Amino acid sequence: MWRYLKSHERFVLDALAGSGEGISMVELRDFHERQLRYMQHERLIHLMVTMFVSTYLLLIIGFIAVHPIWPAFALAALLFALVCAYVVHYFRLENGVQRWYHLANQIDERLGRLSGRYGPR
Domain ranges of the chain: 39-110
49-58 contacts at long range (C-beta below 8 A, 24 or more positions apart): 49/86, 50/83, 50/86, 50/87, 50/90, 53/79, 53/82, 53/83, 53/86, 54/83, 57/83
pLDDT for residue 94 is more than 80: yes
Mean pLDDT of 98-121: 76
Among residues 51, 52, 77, 49, the alpha carbon closest in space to that of 64 is found at: 77
Q: What are the tens digits of pLDDT across the range 32-91? A: 999 999 999 999 999 999 999 999 999 999 999 999 999 999 999 999 999 999 999 999
